[in-house]
Amino acid sequence: MNTTDPADRVGSGPPASAPLVLRFADIGAESLPEVGGKAANLGVLAAAGFPVPPGVCVTTEAYRRVAAGAGLEEVLAALDATPPDDVPALGALATRARELVLRAPVPDDVADAVRREARGPVAVRSSATAEDLPDASFAGQQDTYLDVTGADAVLEAVRSCWASLWTDRAVTYRAAHGIDHRSVRLAVVIQEMVRAEAAGVMFTANPVTGRRREAVIDAAPGLGEAVVSGAVNPDRFVVDLATGRITERRPGDRPPAVRSAAGGAPRPGTADAGTTAAHDGTTNDGTVGAGTAATGPCLTDAQVTALAALGGRVEDHYGAPQDIEWALDGDGTLWLTQSRPVTTLFPIPRHLPGEEPDGDAGPRVYFSINVAQGVYRPFTPMGASAFRLLSAGAADLLGFPVRDRVAGAPVLAEAAGRLFADVTGVMRSRAVLPRLLDVMETRSARVLRGLAGDPRFSVTRRSVRPALLRAARVVVRHRIPARIAEALVNPPAARRRAERLARELPARFASPPGAASPDRLDRVERTLGSRAIRAMPSFLPAPATGFALLGLARLLLGDRVRPGELQAVLRGLPHNVTTEMDLELWRLAGRIRADGDAAALLLGVPAAELAGRFHDGSLLPAVAEGLRGFLAAYGMRAVAEIDLGVARWSEDPEHVIGVLANYLRLDDPALAPDVLFARGAAEAERMIRTLAARAGLLRGPVVRFALGRARSLAGLRELPKFYMVSVLAAMRAELAAVGADLAGRGLLARPDDVFFLTFPEVRKALTVPGPGPVTRPGSPAVSPVDPAGSPAAAVAARRAEAARELRRRHLPRVLLSDGTEPEAVASAAPADGALTGVPASAGTVTGVARVVLDPVGAHLTPGEILVCPSTDPGWTPLFLTAGGLVMEMGGANSHGAVVAREYGIPAVVGAARATELIATGRRITVDGTSGTVVAS
């Protein structure tokens, strides 16, 4: 194959620094804009001495010049205006763009440069600039052509690769990932073919279980196309990279092998299947390859271990798990035809340096705090930093003082912007955590119990005495017995005291007017790191007593209580601050409904526009006054509200306005939330009388008392969170003032950038003399891009990372330190489309499913069944119009389960993969008594 000719670097128009063709030896990781992801990786592999078939790359400059004459501007403008979920429109525009590129003239110097590389047979492979990236592989989005021979055939294959930048799949993929179509260009690799005896794909980490340093190899005789395209069931080998031991062998099918043959016309490969592929399982003369009689594995054990060792070296070179395409030629030589990062693996949680938990250095068990709290989105850096302070206060409260309060409890770790708790120590004591999670997050409890048989997590702490002593100190110090007694004897008094503290304490933590930024930061750290947590024991005894009494009633009733009956006692539960919030919003909707102009406004104008009008004072008074009253009481709340960095409803009421509009669409009086709530309360009272009578003469009065007190007290379960959210909102206001100070000094572009920093970073920024704001023509004051000492660059990078992480669909609830996701190891797809979860709210409902991943802006038609990953109080306004609930996480006493019971809607929680397996618009039946969801 020719190397780059100096003439290839000069064309009609481009500067000498814009080459048309580059050898692999001239390509490095920094060459991505010129050569795309595939070629950049091949250049890195070749430079590191790995066995890569020789080749060159036709650079993005060649594509740029062809595309410039294709007339794509109109199509690009239309793509900019097309929503990412409008797949038909995207497909039509992709077809138009592809046709334009195929018809565009190829400049002579570009054509000549390509023809000079036509020494066949070669593979002609697309290499896009948005491809094989750390966060999105784009695998299979562009085309590859194989066994191409002849100058004209190579040029035609290159042109077809350019056009494949505009395949339907590539355009929709970019739209879904928020990548600007204008920013992507295509290079083309021209590479010698490998005459493969066997080929396939290797992952250096298990892509299903997540386990690192466990290679999974798929192999088939002949070319690798059948493996990549899924046309065959390949041989599969699993290898422990640390020992080289083959831990699993699974033979595949033996259909006719796909083999390469010299000469002939170009054949398309399956969207980037690699250099050793043929699109339709035939050789390029249309005949089926030979060598198909073998029945044993296509690789020997020695070849498998050699391949795995090679993959391990590639991973070590990149410092991350790799998805590798490989081929074995007739001489027994292994070739690498591609390596890209494995983008689907969830990162392993990491502790802050020096903050790892004490104890052995063995494997660790991490439990997702995000999952437990129903927050799928990543935390903002300031939100995570605030959580660390809260964890330090909680550790102090429980008798585990921390070394560094700002760093938080050593058990905290982070991955992909999510928080995890290292529960290895708790697992070794084997008692409390799974039992607690049984009622809060049943799937996680099930996973943790599944680890009980793993000898790596065997019990080493058998005595419960230390834990009991610490608990006793907390109980005595905070007068817990007296508060329990008060809750039993006088529930209204206990309730009034707790509610008063929840509303008054957060205001006491605020700084005085005019406080300096360093003083505000000090106050926030003291409040979150100590003062706020010290009040928590004041809120817990009353609801805990209520649920304890519910358990007592269950014990007394024994087998006299039927499934779902005790849940019915908790319907229409009074004194729940979240339920009261939802009903207040419903009442506001009723007042707006009575005003025709106000109702028409909410139903006819987008919520985002109405939110803007509210802030600028131009919103219709009938709506603005009601909204202002609601936000005065509940404006500190938000979706994902445990993240201090998330804007509160008082700052951005778009979600609240959208929910009001949703309420206005409910026109059946019998389905009105207040009517349903009252009906649920009446049913609960009847159930108490029924169960008391069924308990018998002696036990009946005790059951009646216990269930009555449970109804009086259990609703207070939301009060501790309401208190903490109020504290977070107050501290957010303090930090917003600090952010305004930093923005005014030119160290931040805008005040809310402060939430993309941590407490130590903000403290450091406050010591940096700012350059002052910069004013650009026609724009408000903004900060310089990155002055000395400015955190602006870090903020920009973190905002971009947060935007990428918002697209992550799968979040493991339990993860091991070797990357293994235990639930994935044991999981199996449900049979016949049925889902099984945890019964959360009794009853059966059949209706149309509505899958909602983010409640902001979500529209739920009355009676639809809400299918979601999780919920927090920001979701609950949707419950008022939902006919039922299916939730991927949670237990019988998780937030969503409790609210569903209170609203009297059937609910199943802890239903694995519900949002993946249930499609919006599908009719399903939810049985909240048995915990099943089936297609209707």
Of 936, 924, 857, 858, the C-alpha closest to 886 is 924
Distance CA 635, CA 657 (A): 12
**Max mean pLDDT range (359-373, 665-679, 702-716):** 702-716
Task: Decide: 42 and 27 in contact? Cβ < 8 Å.
Answer: yes
Residues near 120 by beta carbon (within 8 Å), at least 6 away in sequence: 147, 148, 149, 150, 153, 154, 193, 262, 263
Q: How confident is the model at residue 273 (pLDDT cuts 50, 70, 90)?
A: very low
The predicted pLDDT at position 685 comes to: 96
Stretch 318-334: mean pLDDT: 94
Q: How confident is the model at residue 254 (pLDDT cuts 50, 70, 90)?
A: low
Q: At what angle do helices 517-526 and 759-766 cross, to 10 degrees?
A: 160
- In 391-434, beta strands by DSSP E: 412-415, 418-422
Distance CA 647, CA 643 (A): 9
> Phi/psi of residue 331, each to 5°?
-90, 0
Higher-confidence position of 624 and 132: 624
Summarize pLDDT for 743-768 with one digit per residue, the tens: 999 999 999 999 999 999 999 999 88
Proportion of the chain in helix, strand, coil states, percent, rounded to 5: 45, 15, 40
Higher-confidence position of 903 and 150: 150
Higher-confidence position of 265 and 732: 732
Distance CA 405, CA 522 (A): 12
Higher-confidence position of 149 and 430: 149
Distance CA 823, CA 33 (A): 39
780 CB neighbour count, 10 Å cutoff = 8
Edge-to-edge strand ranges of the sheet holding 932-935:
835-836, 932-935, 923-927, 844-851, 865-868, 884-887, 907-909, 838-841
Distance CA 510, CA 681 (A): 38
Task: Decide: 746 and 773 in contact? Cβ < 8 Å.
Answer: yes
The predicted pLDDT at position 266 comes to: 43
How long, in residues, is the chain?
936
Summarize pLDDT for 797-847 with one digit per residue, the tens: 999 999 989 878 778 889 999 999 888 776 544 445 578 887 778 778 999
CB neighbour burial string for 124-140, b if at least 16 within 10 angstroms, e if fewer: bbbbbbbbbbeebbbbb
Higher-confidence position of 132 and 433: 433
Task: Decide: 256 and 208 in contact? Cβ < 8 Å.
Answer: no
Helix residue spans in 755-791 (DSSP H): 759-766
Task: Decide: 837 and 908 in contact? Cβ < 8 Å.
Answer: yes
Q: At what angle do helices 621-634 and 607-616 cross, to 10 degrees?
A: 90
Give the pair of three-digit tokens for residue 19: 């080459």
Does residue 30 register a pLDDT over 90?
yes
Of 114, 337, 157, the C-alpha closest to 265 is 157
Distance CA 218, CA 241 (A): 16
**Residue 649 gets which letter from DSSP?**
T
22 CB neighbour count, 10 Å cutoff = 23
Give pTM, 2 decimals. Answer: 0.80
Residues near 344 by beta carbon (within 8 Å), at least 6 away in sequence: 207
Q: At what angle do helices 719-744 and 517-526 cross, to 10 degrees?
A: 160
Of 318, 277, 298, 288, the C-alpha closest to 233 is 298
The predicted pLDDT at position 131 comes to: 54
User: What percent of the chain lies above the pLDDT cut of 70?
Assistant: 85
Stretch 366-372: mean pLDDT: 90
Minimum mean pLDDT range among 69-73, 280-284, 564-568, 586-590: 280-284
The predicted pLDDT at position 809 comes to: 72
Output the CA angle 908-910-915, nearest 5 degrees. 85
Q: What does each C-alpha distance from 858 to 266, 628, 868 come to in angstroms?
A: 49, 22, 11
Minimum mean pLDDT range among 18-32, 178-192, 260-274, 517-531: 260-274
The predicted pLDDT at position 871 comes to: 80
Question: Which residues are catalytic, by number?
Answer: 895
User: What percent of the chain lies above the pLDDT cut of 90?
Assistant: 58
The predicted pLDDT at position 798 comes to: 95
Summarize pLDDT for 336-347 with one digit per residue, the tens: 999 988 877 899
Q: How confident is the model at residue 264 (pLDDT cuts 50, 70, 90)?
A: very low
Summarize pLDDT for 908-926 with one digit per residue, the tens: 988 888 988 899 999 999 9
The predicted pLDDT at position 230 comes to: 46
Stretch 434-462: mean pLDDT: 72
Distance CA 450, CA 821 (A): 12
The predicted pLDDT at position 85 comes to: 75
The predicted pLDDT at position 271 comes to: 37
The predicted pLDDT at position 459 comes to: 72
Summarize pLDDT for 487-497 with one digit per residue, the tens: 999 999 999 99
Task: Decide: 170 and 302 in contact? Cβ < 8 Å.
Answer: no
Distance CA 875, CA 889 (A): 14
Q: What does each C-alpha distance from 624 to 165, 205, 615, 781 come to in angstroms?
A: 49, 55, 9, 30
Stretch 515-531: mean pLDDT: 96
Element housing 285 (H / E): none
The predicted pLDDT at position 275 comes to: 35
Distance CA 200, CA 198 (A): 7
Edge-to-edge strand ranges of the sheet holding 196-205:
245-250, 235-240, 212-221, 196-205, 322-329, 334-341
Distance CA 194, CA 275 (A): 7
Stretch 653-663: mean pLDDT: 94
Bridge partners of 55? 191
Minimum mean pLDDT range among 361-365, 399-403, 711-715, 754-758: 361-365
Distance CA 688, CA 46 (A): 75
Of 482, 555, 572, the C-alpha closest to 903 is 572
Give the pair of three-digit tokens for residue 931: 């915990």
Q: How confident is the model at residue 382 (pLDDT cuts 50, 70, 90)?
A: very high
3-state SS class at 247: strand
- Cα torsion 889, 893, 894, 895 to 10°: value is 140
Looking at residue 460, its amino acid is T
* Mean pLDDT for all residues in the chain: 84
Q: What does each C-alpha distance from 772 to 108, 737, 846 come to in angstroms?
A: 53, 17, 61
Does residue 370 register a pLDDT over 60?
yes
The predicted pLDDT at position 782 comes to: 36
Stretch 465-489: mean pLDDT: 86
Of 72, 45, 239, 39, the C-alpha closest to 142 is 39
Summarize pLDDT for 598-613 with one digit per residue, the tens: 999 999 999 999 999 9
64 CB neighbour count, 10 Å cutoff = 13
* Phi-psi region at 200: left, alpha or beta (left = phi > 0; alpha = psi -120 to 50): left
Summarize pLDDT for 869-909 with one digit per residue, the tens: 888 767 877 887 789 999 887 665 566 776 787 677 888 98
Bridge partners of 807? none
Q: How confident is the model at residue 440 (pLDDT cuts 50, 70, 90)?
A: low
Of 869, 898, 373, the C-alpha closest to 646 is 373
The predicted pLDDT at position 281 comes to: 28
